[in-house]
Amino acid sequence: MAIFKFKSYYKMGPGVSKNEPEDSGLVRYFKIFFRKFWSLAYVNLIYCIFFIPLLALCLFLLHLAVNSPAADNTVILLLCFSPLALLGPANAGLVKITREFVREEPCFIWSDFMDAFRKNWKQSLVVSIFQYVGAVALFAAVWFYYNLIGNSFLYAVPFGLAVLFCLIFLFMSFYLELMVVTLNLRLKMLFKNALLLSFISIGRNFLTLLICGIIVALEVGFFIMSLAATQSAIVLFVAMTLMLFFAWLAYSANFMAFPTIMRCIIEPYYEAHPEETSESILHPENTRQQEEEGPPADYEPPEYVYENGRMIHRSVAEKHSIFEDQGNPADKDDEA
């Protein structure tokens, strides 16, 4: 079974010239960002449909906690934000759409968002609960050991370990939701792969953290300015939140994380399973199935096959094979 969950589109695009130079990472990042700006705004608004009611519930719980005897308990205050752990399915939709932007593949934003929401709600909910519980636990640990450093410098060791675990936790978060919507893996393998990728691509992970940190800093800056109650600052903060903030974060994280998943998981898988690639149709003599005595009696060819970083319908690959066998008519005319 193919490990992709990609939605296939049968219509072939105009393609890209072989001689066209490939853009560098930074240039490609901004080219896609500006080209998809309004699409990012659209998917961000869809995400806010789920985010804003849960945030309102969190603020209501926080109001109750602040006016209760537990107001001095930091952990209790953090638990007021537990409804945000229910955002998992919406996170899946957001990550799915922004992943397609990164891959420069066509998508129908609303329908594909809801499709990812429905298909991945179980795993994405588990991931979001894990992220919330982990964030609260690590924040409490960092805060606890930081306050104890004044009593004894020895507490700097567990404080440093807590900060290290925070970094690993953040790095894992770059991959978890992306793997949920991209790969058919069990939860155990999702967390294992996310942990491994947090170390394998550590330099890229730090760069992702820097980019996301800049985006968060902009959002916080607009929020602080809006507290001054100036009209322009309030407009900037609301516009940033409703139209860009969440989609920009997801797009940036996926732009950095998806190539790592391609290199470390997807490409090795299809190298080991050539029968699930378009190569098995275009050049069947080179596949493992042809090298053996023959396919098993119950073997069924996959409906979708892998080709150059994307999933295409098997019928499309078969058309390619027919054209390759017949040759290019224009070339034949030149020979004549």
Higher pLDDT, 195 or 284: 195
Query: How much is the pLDDT for 88?
Result: 93
CA 313 to chain centre: 23
Alpha-carbon distance values, 8 to 12, 126, 236, 304, 319 (Å): 11, 27, 38, 8, 15
Alpha-carbon distance values, 101 to 32, 50, 98, 207, 262 (Å): 7, 21, 5, 20, 15
Amino acid letter for position 203: G
Paired tokens of 65 = 């906690």
* Cβ atoms within 10 Å of 103's Cβ, excluding its own: 18
SS3 at position 77: helix
Burial of residue 65 (CB within 10 Å: 0-12, 13-18, 19+) is middle
Are the CB atoms for 82 and 112 separated by under 8 Å? no
Query: How much is the pLDDT for 151?
Result: 83
Beta bridge partners of 311: 306
Task: Output the CA angle 189-193-199, nearest 5 degrees.
Answer: 155
Condensed to tens digits (0 to 9), the pLDDT of residues 301-335 reads: 555 555 555 555 556 555 555 444 555 444 444 44
Query: How much is the pLDDT for 291?
Result: 47
Backbone angles phi, psi at 303, to 5 degrees: -70, -35
User: Which residue matches tokens 């378009």?
Assistant: 278
* Cβ atoms within 10 Å of 166's Cβ, excluding its own: 16
Query: How much is the pLDDT for 8?
Result: 46
Expressed in percent and rounded to 5, the helix, strand and coil fractions of the chain are 75, 5, 20
Condensed to tens digits (0 to 9), the pLDDT of residues 86-138 reads: 999 999 999 999 999 999 988 999 999 999 999 999 999 999 999 999 999 99
**Looking at residues 224-253, what average pLDDT do you find?**
86
Higher pLDDT, 298 or 221: 221
Are the CB atoms for 62 and 77 separated by under 8 Å? yes
